[in-house]
Amino acid sequence: MEEVSQADLNLACAALLMEVARADHEVDPREMEATLAAIRSVLGVEESAIAELMGAAETEVTEGTSMFPHTRLINDRCTREQKCDILKAMWLVAFADGNIDRYEEHLIRRVAGLIHVDHSDFIHAKIEARDG
Quick: pLDDT tens for 20-74: 999 988 889 999 999 999 999 888 898 899 999 999 999 988 887 688 999 999 9
Gap between the Cα atoms of 40 and 115, Å rounded: 22
Contact 35, 21 (CB under 8 A): yes
CA 76-53-63 angle, 5° bins: 80
**DSSP symbol at 43:** S
Q: Is the pTM of this model over 0.85?
A: yes
Which CATH code for domain 6-131?
A: 1.10.3680.10
Gap between the Cα atoms of 21 and 92, Å rounded: 10
Instruction: Determine the pLDDT at residue 3.
Output: 64
